[in-house]
């Protein structure tokens, strides 16, 4: 690397965290370069729908994205509820006055979040080097290379269907051990997937059970199905700055330990990484103030979710449908005295998963 190149802030990985960091840096007047190992953005996704969660803060996630300098130039559809299933009980319907999540498309497909962020970055003059592994070692670098290990896997299909728009969530260890399955339909396009935390070696069995469930219980017609899948990783460490390298997104362990809603963490931490460089603020202080309380609570939530199994799933489903589901989720995604007391037990339960290289 020559001295001229050292003026650039290097960003490794062109996922939501890396591209957000690049966009924010450019808006602060910095020169950023993004290095992506794959041939294009969104390589591990395949046009599947994902949910950008809108329950963990009072502020709407779309307003939050606009505040940090991200334009909504991608498909972004509010969902206000859906059907929830748990074993040995009739399905219940969730309804919320405010959107519970925003549907976004992932991968290198038209209208996807990944393409939207890429377009915003390119329009600000940021260079993205594809098929490139960053080898530089000097200068400020933001690392956003995604999951390092596997705490959960998600496998599913995208498909065409005549069914009307809907969202369905299923909690059942026979379909998604210690996780959940979901189906989202938007304008004749559908996504269904099972998110598996335990017994991952039997993924084929759970995938089949998931497809059978949606076919039998929801009478879904599936055409032109395409498979997709990936993994997720969560951990909490003391610092995310090592030798001038700032870690953001899932490569810093920023992930919703309970259910894997990691996009919000990825985008916000990418913003914080850029802001720390532009304003000289301590990155560790920023993420510890804004993200750590929720990360820790989500670890406790995962511990409790795994512990109570099907009985817990039924309790959860009933709670969702009583009162305001968004408020219920917000309360449970944020710190409480009880959860702070359980935190050391949850931390020791996931200790192996929490230690990183
Ligand atoms: C199937 C599936 C469904 C999901 N559903 C949801 C959902 O509904 N809601 C939600 O909020 N989250 C969901 N998630 C999680 C969410 O997708 C991730 O948390 C989020 O994409 C993390 O963003 P990131 O930028 O940190 O990492 P990534 O999106 O993984 O991006 C990292 C990038 O770095 C690149 N890279 C890796 N190593 C190198 C290297 N050495 N050099 C250069 N580039 C490198 C990778 O190719 C990749 O493009 C889901 C995940 C999966 C797998």
User: Closest Cα to atom 15, ligand 1: which residue?
Assistant: 262
Cβ of residue 43 lying under 6 Å from some atom of ligand 1? yes
Q: CB of 124 closer than 6 A to ligand 1? A: no
DSSP E strands, the chain: 9-12, 32-35, 49-53, 77-79, 81-85, 92-95, 101-105, 127-129, 141-143, 152-160, 166-170, 180-186, 189-196, 223-232, 241-242, 245-247
Ligand 1, residue 114: give the atom nearest the CA.
29
CA nearest to 139, candidates 2, 260, 299, 249: 2
Task: Give residue 56 CA to ligand 1 midpoint distance, Å.
Answer: 20
> Is 17 near ligand 1, meaning CB less than 6 Å away?
yes
For the Cβ of 10 lying below 6 angstroms from any atom of ligand 1, the answer is no
Is the CB of 14 within 6 Å of ligand 1? Answer: yes
Task: Please give the pLDDT value at position 261.
Answer: 97
pLDDT in tens, 163-199: 999 999 999 999 999 999 999 999 999 999 999 999 9
pLDDT tier for residue 4 given thresholds of 50, 70 and 90: very low
Candidates 163, 166, 165, 161; CA nearest to 93 is 166
Q: What is the CATH number of domain 5-149+234-292?
A: 3.50.50.60
357 pLDDT exceeds 80?
A: no
Structure token digits, residue 282:
């301590």
Domain boundaries, the chain: 5-149+234-292, 152-232, 293-354
The percentage of the chain sitting over the pLDDT mark of 70, rounded to a whole number, equals 96
Distance between Cα 323 and ligand 1 center (Å): 34
Ligand 1 centroid – CA 3 distance (Å): 32
Let me know: does 147 contact 251? Beta carbons within 8 Å.
yes
């Amino acid at each position: 690397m020559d001295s001229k190149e050292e003026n650039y802030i290097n960003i490794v990985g062109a996922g939501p965290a890396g591209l957000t960091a690049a966009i924010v840096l450019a808006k602060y007047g910095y020169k950023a370069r993004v290095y992506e190992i794959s041939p294009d953005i969104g390589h591990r996704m395949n046009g599947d729908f994902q949910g950008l969660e809108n329950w963990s803060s009072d502020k709407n996630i779309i307003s939050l994205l606009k505040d940090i300098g991200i334009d909504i130039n991608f498909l972004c559809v509010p969902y206000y509820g859906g059907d929830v299933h748990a074993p040995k009980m009739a399905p219940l319907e969730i309804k919320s006055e405010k959107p519970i999540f925003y549907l976004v498309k992932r991968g290198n497909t038209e209208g996807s979040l990944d393409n939207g962020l890429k377009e915003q970055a390119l329009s600000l003059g940021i260079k993205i080097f594809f098929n490139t592994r960053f080898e530089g070692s000097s200068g400020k670098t933001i690392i956003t290379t995604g999951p390092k290990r596997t705490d959960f896997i998600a496998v599913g299909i995208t498909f065409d269907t005549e069914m009307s728009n809907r969202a369905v969530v299923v909690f059942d260890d026979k379909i998604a051990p210690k996780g959940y399955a979901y189906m989202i339909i938007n304008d004749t396009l559908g996504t269904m997937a099972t998110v598996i935390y335990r017994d991952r070696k039997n993924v084929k069995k759970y995938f089949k059970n998931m497809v059978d469930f949606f076919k039998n219980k929801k009478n879904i017609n599936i055409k032109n199905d395409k498979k997709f899948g990936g993994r997720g990783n969560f951990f909490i460490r003391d610092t995310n700055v090592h030798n001038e390298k700032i870690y953001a997104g899932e490569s810093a362990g920023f992930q919703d330990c309970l259910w894997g809603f990691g996009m919000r963490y990825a985008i916000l931490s990418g913003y914080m990484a850029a802001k720390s460089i532009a304003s000289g603020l301590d990155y560790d202080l920023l993420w510890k103030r804004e993200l750590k309380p929720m990360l820790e609570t989500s670890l406790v939530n995962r511990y409790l979710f795994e512990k109570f199994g099907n009985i817990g799933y039924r309790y959860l489903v009933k709670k969702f449908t009583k009162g305001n589901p968004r408020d219920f989720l917000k309360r449970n995604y944020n710190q409480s005295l009880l959860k702070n007391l359980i935190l050391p037990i949850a931390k020791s339960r996931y200790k192996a998963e929490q230690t990183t290289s």
